[in-house]
Amino acid sequence: MLLLKRANELLAENKLREAEFMYKSVLKQSPNNGAALFGVGRICMRLEQYDNAIYYLKRACEHLPKMLEPLFALADAFLAVGSPVDAKTVLEYTLSIAKHNAQAHYQLGQFYLDYGFLEQAENVFKAGLDCPHGAVTAFMLYELVQMSKPAALPDYLAMLTKLEDEFEAPRLKTVVYYAKAKCQERLGDYDAAQENFALANDTQLLLSEFRTSDMLPFFESIKQHCGQSFFNRPSDIVKTTFIPVFIVGLPRTGSTLLEQMLVQHSHVGTLGENTVISDQIVPYLCMRNNSAFPACLDQLSNAMLDHCRILYVDEIKRYRVSEEVVINKLPANFQNLGLIYKLFPEAKIIHLTRNLKATAWSVYSNHFAENEPYFCSLSEFALYAQAQSDLMTHFKTFMKNNIYTLSYEQLIAEPEKTIKRCLGFMYQKYEPECLAFHKSKKPVHTLSKAQVRKPISTAPLERWQRYDTFIETMMNPEQNAQTTQANP
C-alpha cells in the first residue's frame, strides 16, 4: 500500500505526527494491519507513551506472527514501564519460536546480563553461536570472552579471527578487535592484546567526527558563564521531597559500583545514567533565552527554574523512584553542575576520581558504542581528563559544601568505611546490605554490569600496570617523541 509506504518513510525521517496520521488512516481501512499497528507502536515508544505502545505492539505481534522486531519492541516497552517479568516472558517466547536466529539469542542474553543472571546469559550467548553468523555474532563473542571459563577462549579466538576476515564495516571490525584483545588478555598474551586494543581504538577513532580539542572552548565558556557573578545571584529557597544526588566524574571511575552499593540502602533509589538535564532541561532554557548552553544560564527566572524542576520530578515519577534519596549517575553531568546548583541548591554531588593511567586504560580497553575521541585514544582521553579536572576545580571553588570527592581506590580498599561516609553525606545511616550489592538483581546497563555481580576485587587496581609503558607513550605522544629525539 502506498499509504503504508509513505508512513514508513515519514517515520524514518522522524516526522512522527505525519507518520502517525498515515498509519491510523491505514488502520481505519484495515484495523488488523500488523505493519500499521507496529508503526504506531514505534511512534508511541519514541514519544515515551509506553502504555499505548504496549497496546499497539501486542496487537502488532498477533498479526505479524513471523516478525521478531515487534516482539523486541514489546519487550522494550515492558522494560520502560518497569515490568521486567513481562519483558523476560516476551524475549523467552521470541527465542522459543526463533531458535536459529542469533538476534533472538542476543536480546535475551543481554536481558539476563542486565539483571544479573550471568549463567543464563552465558548459556544463551553460547547457543547463539550455533546460529548462522552475522554482525550480532561479534557482539555475543565480545560478552562471552569476558565471562566464559579459560578453556573456551581458544575456540572463541579462532571464531573471532575468522570474523575479522569476513567483516568489512569499521564498526564491526572494532568490536572484533576489542573481543580478541580481551580474549588474549585473559589467556596471558599481553603483547597481542595490546596490539588488538590499539587496532580497535584506531579503527573507532576514524569514525569520530570531532576531536577533544574542539570541546575546550565549550568547557572554558562554562567557567565564564558559571563564575562568581553566577553563584552570587540569589537562589530560590527550594524544598524538595527528595534528596537529589549526582555522581559525576570521568568514565570508568567506579560510578556503577558505587551506585549499586548505595541503592541496596532502603532509602536510596536511582535514575541510572539519566540525561533529562541535557535532553530536556537545557533545550528548554536554550529555547526560552534564545541562546545556546551555557549562555542560556545568564538569565534564569524563578518561573524557568520551577519548570525545569518539574521536568526533573516528572522523570523521577516516570522511573517510579519513590525513595528519599534519588541518584543520577551520569558522569558527564560535571558539565551541568552550575545549572544543578540553581535547580537544587542543596544537591549532593559525589565526585569520583581514580588513578589517571588506570582510568585511561579502562576506557581504552573497553568498547564504548559512542564514537567519541576520548573513548578511543589515550592522548585524546588525557586532554579530556585535564579539561574535566579543571572544570571540577572551578566548581569546587563555589560549591565546596555540595561536593564530596571519593576515590575509586578508597572505595575498593575500605568499602564499609567509605560507604558510611558517603551515606552520611546524604544524611543516611549505614545499612550492611550495601556491601551485599553483588547479590542484587537490580538492573545494570553499563559496561560494568557483569563486574558488579561479583564481590569487590583489587584486580582492576593492577591490570593497567602491564601496559604502563604503552599508556605513558600514547598519553603523551609529543613529549615522548621529543624525548626520543633528544635521547636516541
Q: How far apart are CA 104 and CA 93, in angstroms?
A: 10
Instruction: Classify strands 243-249 and 268-270 as parallel, antiparallel or unpaired.
Output: unpaired
Any idea where the domains of the chain sit in the sequence?
1-98, 212-480
Which of 358, 376, 314 lies closest to 462 in space, CA to CA?
Answer: 358
> Which contacts of 121-128 are long-range, i.e. CB under 8 A and separated by 24 or more positions?
121/147, 122/147, 122/148, 124/95, 128/102, 128/104
Sign (positive/negative) of CA torsion 154, 155, 161, 164? negative
Give the per-residue pLDDT at 279. 96
Q: Scan for cell 575456540, then name that residue.
A: 155
Give the per-residue pLDDT at 479. 58
Tell me the H-state helices in 206-333. 216-225, 228-232, 255-262, 276, 282-289, 302-318
Residue positions counted in the chain: 488
Q: How far apart are CA 438 and CA 417, in angstroms?
A: 18
CA dihedral (296, 302, 307, 312) in degrees, to 10, reads 80
- The DSSP symbol for 214 reads G
User: Which tens digit of pLDDT belongs to each residue from 343-372?
Assistant: 999 999 999 999 999 999 999 999 999 999
Could you tell me if 264 and 436 are in contact, meaning their C-beta atoms sit under 8 angstroms apart? yes
Q: How far apart are CA 390 and CA 110, in angstroms?
A: 37
Give the per-residue pLDDT at 186. 95
pLDDT tens-digit profile, the chain (488 residues)? 688 999 999 999 999 999 999 999 999 999 999 999 999 999 999 998 999 999 999 999 999 998 999 999 999 999 999 899 999 999 999 999 999 999 999 999 999 999 999 999 999 999 999 999 999 999 999 999 999 999 999 999 999 999 999 999 999 999 999 999 999 999 999 999 999 999 999 999 999 999 999 999 999 999 999 999 999 998 777 888 999 999 999 999 999 999 999 999 999 999 999 999 999 999 999 999 999 999 999 999 999 999 999 999 999 998 889 999 999 999 999 999 999 999 999 999 999 999 999 999 999 999 999 999 999 999 999 999 999 999 999 999 999 999 999 999 999 999 999 999 999 999 999 999 999 988 887 887 777 777 777 888 887 888 899 999 999 999 986 655 443 333 33
SS3 call for 246: strand
String of DSSP letters for 118-180: HHHHHHHHHHHTTSPP-HHHHHHHHHHHHHS-GGGHHHHHHHHHHHHHH--SHHHHHHHHHHH
CATH fold, domain 212-480, is: Rossmann fold (3.40.50)
Q: Scan for cell 572551578, then name that residue.
A: 394
Q: How many CB atoms lie within 10 A of CB 66?
A: 7
Which of 49, 32, 41 lies closest to 7 in space, CA to CA?
Answer: 41
Q: How far apart are CA 392 and CA 337, in angstroms?
A: 9
Q: Give the CATH number of domain 1-98.
A: 1.25.40.10
Q: Scan for cell 580539542, then name that residue.
A: 213
CA atoms within 13 A on the CB side of 76: 16
Sign (positive/negative) of CA torsion 432, 438, 442, 448? positive
- The DSSP symbol for 281 reads I
